[in-house]
């Protein structure tokens, strides 16, 4: 999935760090075995997530929407010593794949997988304070997830939300429900005084939010 033109995307991938071997394998296997493989963050966006995580050096990361664990592993690269990623996936069928992928990348001790609907799981995690969160699950709930977790992010911590340019539809004249939901999300966050924000035109649009 590319929001940028293909030649630019290829150039960017050739001029960032290479995809680590385990992630390259997970990327390939995801495209071979999963129904919607382009849900995976992929090489360039994965390096962005890794870079942001390394800059924050989080002790605790929250991810909503694990899929095959690609972004989870990228985010785990920046964890502080002894840090953990809490990641939530509703689809129980991914559990075995995720176990294998986390072992392949040797991050199994740094990742706590929760299987269940994010709203239910988040309720049980409400005591935690996170340094970084990545929202990448059911797109209609993005704003609800943001509102649920903003008080659980430490000042200076990041929330990253994927797909916010929605294939470029948010700035066109599309009127469908999903596009309107993304417009509402982006408009709400744009005027929030609680956070600093920047949409990066990476892939389908990555919104980086820093809590003041
Ligand atoms: C876009 S994929 C995640 C991709 C992954 N973050 C990555 O970048 O490689 C979205 C995932 O969210 C999961 N999901 C959808 N609705 C959910 C919910 N309510 N709670 C938890 N997970 C959900 C889907 O099953 C799917 O695996």
Give this complex's ipTM: 0.99
Q: For each of the chain's 212 residues, which pLDDT tens digit applies? A: 556 678 888 899 999 999 999 999 999 999 999 999 999 999 999 999 999 999 999 999 999 999 999 999 999 999 999 999 999 999 999 999 999 999 999 999 999 999 999 999 999 999 999 999 999 999 999 999 999 999 999 999 999 999 999 999 999 999 999 999 999 999 999 999 999 999 999 999 999 999 99
At the topology level, CATH places domain 6-211 in Rossmann fold (3.40.50)
In short, whether 23's Cβ falls inside 6 Å of ligand 1 is: no
Q: Are 61 and 74 in contact (CB under 8 A)?
A: no
Using one digit for the tens of pLDDT, what is the confidence trace for 90-135? 999 999 999 999 999 999 999 999 999 999 999 999 999 999 999 9
Q: How, if at all, do strands 195-200 and 153-162 pair?
A: unpaired
The pTM of the full predicted model, rounded to 2 decimals, is 0.97
Rounded CA separation 118/90 (Å):
7
| Ligand 1 pocket mutation, candidates 137, 140, 145, 205, criterion most atoms within 8 A of CB | 137
Q: Tell whether ligand 1 has an atom less than 6 A from the beta carbon of residue 67.
A: yes
In angstroms, what is the span from residue 10 Cα to ligand 1's centroid? 26
Rg, the chain, Cα only: 16
Output the residue whose Cα is nearest ligand 1's atom 8: 41
Q: What is the rounded CA–CA span in Å between residue 102 and residue 124?
A: 23
């Amino acid at each position: 999935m590319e929001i940028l033109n293909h030649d630019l995307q290829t150039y960017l991938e050739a001029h960032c760090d290479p995809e680590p071997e385990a992630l390259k394998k997970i990327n390939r296997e995801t495209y071979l075995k999963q129904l919607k493989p382009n849900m995976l963050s992929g090489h360039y966006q994965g390096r962005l997530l890794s870079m942001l995580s390394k800059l924050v050096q989080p002790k605790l990361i929250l991810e909503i929407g694990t899929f095959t664990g690609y972004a989870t592993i990228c985010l785990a690269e920046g964890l502080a010593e002894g840090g953990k990623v809490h990641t939530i996936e509703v689809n129980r069928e991914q559990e075995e794949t995720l176990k294998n992928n986390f072992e392949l990348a040797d991050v199994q001790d740094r990742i706590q997988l929760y299987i269940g609907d994010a709203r239910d799981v988040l309720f049980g995690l409400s005591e935690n304070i996170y340094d970084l969160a990545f929202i990448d699950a059911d797109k209609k709930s993005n704003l609800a997830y943001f509102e649920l977790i903003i008080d659980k992010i430490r000042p200076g911590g990041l929330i990253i939300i994927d797909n916010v340019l929605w294939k470029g539809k948010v700035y066109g004249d599309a009127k469908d429900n999903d596009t309107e939901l993304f417009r509402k999300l982006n408009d709400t966050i744009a005027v929030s005084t609680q956070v600093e924000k920047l949409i990066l035109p990476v892939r389908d649009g990555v919104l980086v939010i820093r809590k003041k």
